[in-house]
Chain A
């Protein structure tokens, strides 16, 4: 039963992360720790599949495979949100770069225009 609460909290947390947080070194560190924990857990359940089922029963899910499935869905949603935010950030950087090019070129055009005006005036 209480695994439902864990799932709901996880998904609400992902939604808040999508809307609220700004990228920081702390978040990067947390994400990396989560990846290493997931890898370690993966190795453990490969070596001892019984543990997975035991944990599943402990949290009120019948089978280990179901627990794995639910965890995979949450991990996937989190990954989608992280990548989406990264692409938004990249887009903004890209825009700033393109704007800088545009403004530089216009300054160059304006300067060339001024000089040729001076030449014709002379």
Chain B
């Protein structure tokens, strides 16, 4: 993963950005995800959303700050908890949301942070559809594209990828986040709330690594119906 890395292997650790990872039943992969992140980020927060497989202990052993929900609440709830914790930390300038299953590349997160700092952008959304690197397969592509269309209709933003867990959010934008959607519909809700802040945003092409592991846990067509209903019910 080092070939695109700006600054090479000796690149410094980021001291001011906080990485937030919603964590649920990922004991087999979370350790390496945290270890690799800690090489480049000083602050990594895992929100253990009531895992029963010891994911939280693995994350803590790997060196992450660990927050633990008393029971399972959903990915959106875990993200909100992590964001509230991170934005209250003195010196935190950016929050990076990252998935626990190892499907995101750390170089993408670093590049997104650099873009935000260099060009004074408050929000950078990762998108797997800005280039051709990611191949989710036909059915998943259809599901994701439908999710994008629904998101764009409700939020007024023009995104190419809605349900991508890799985002870079500046502290002032993070203060506008108050997620009520505990389950998967938060991915649309967070775009809506960030859009309302009126702060400058970008999309950034990222690669999503579909390992067999993350494929098995991916979102089904039926689950996207759940997302739609969650968004419609007030």
Contacts and interface: CB of A to CB of B under 8 A. Distances in A.
Interface of A: 18-22, 84-85, 88, 91-92, 94-95, 98-99, 101-103, 105-106
Nearest to A84: B233
B77 interface: yes
A99 B68 contact: no
B77 A99 contact: yes
- Counting chain B residues whose Cβ lies within 8 A of the other chain, the interface size class is 10 to 19
B36 interface: no
B85 A95 contact: no
Nearest to A92: B180
B203 to A, nearest CB: 29
Greatest chain A CB density within 10 A among B47, B77, B80, B232 is at B77
A19 B233 contact: yes
Contacts of A84: 233
Contact of A22 (B65, B69, B80, B234): B234
Given A22-B234, A99-B73, A103-B84, 11 more contacts: A18-B233, A19-B233, A84-B233, A85-B234, A95-B77, A99-B80, A99-B84, A102-B67, A103-B67, A103-B81, A106-B67
A19 B234 CA distance: 5
Interface in B167-183: 180, 182
A21 B233 contact: no
Given A98-B70, A98-B73, A103 B85 contact: yes
Contacts of B234: 18-22, 85
Tell me what chain A mostly uses at the interface: helix, strand, loop, or mixed: helix
B233 A106 contact: no
Interface string B61-103: 0000101111101100100110011000000000000000000
A30 to B, nearest CB: 17
B73 A95 contact: yes
Pick from B47, B67, B71 the residue with the most CB of A within 10 Å.
B67
B90 to A, nearest CB: 12
Contacts of B73: 94-95, 98-99
Nearest to B81: A99
B98 to A, nearest CB: 18
Contacts of B77: 95, 98-99
Contact of A106 (B74, B85, B180): B85
A95 B182 contact: yes
B68 A105 contact: yes
6 contacts: A91-B182, A92-B180, A99-B69, A99-B80, A103-B67, A103-B81
A102 B81 contact: yes
Contacts of A105: 67-68
A95 B47 CA distance: 14
A122 to B, nearest CB: 23
B48 to A, nearest CB: 9
A99 B73 CA distance: 9
A89 B79 CA distance: 19
Contacts of B182: 91-92, 95
